[in-house]
Structure 1
Amino acid sequence: MEISLKASDDQQIPIGASKFGGSPDLPRSEPWPVNEQTGKPLHFVAQINFSEVSEFDTQSELPSRGMLYLFYDCAWIP
């Protein structure tokens, strides 16, 4: 599998497409993830549309549809 990155404005990327950076296409009913201890919002990393990567899932271990959202907290200190 190859991942290639190309700088684009969010408006140029179809809603629901896989992407790194920018803003996530969260469902309206889904709140922005926050750190449970601090209440501060997490940083968006990427969203992966499973239907776009299913051809690379040769072992059929991933769902065939749906979205994986990746967020992180770079400042969390216990």
Structure 2
Amino acid sequence: LKTKSYQIKEVLKQLNCKTLRIVIGNLDKITPVNEITEIVQNSINNLDLVIIDNMDHEIIQEEEVEKIHEEIKNFFKF
């Protein structure tokens, strides 16, 4: 996992996209919001970070799934 191809900061630098949207729950303990912010802040110019209240890493409630679906649909609207 020490090779550059597995380092998230290196991978993000190689992305060729106008905007990167990351959807995360504010209660996520596996990938906490502060860690995601730290990792991507200098790696991607156009970050669209969406934080969903009261959502953990494991999405098991239908309401959480709907919120994520809505964010994905909004991202791809023209």
Q: TM-score, normalised by structure 1?
A: 0.26
Q: Name whichever structure is richer in helix by fraction.
A: 2
Q: TM-score, normalised by structure 2?
A: 0.26
Name the structure, 1 or 2, with higher relative contact order (CA <8 Å, separation 6+).
Answer: 2
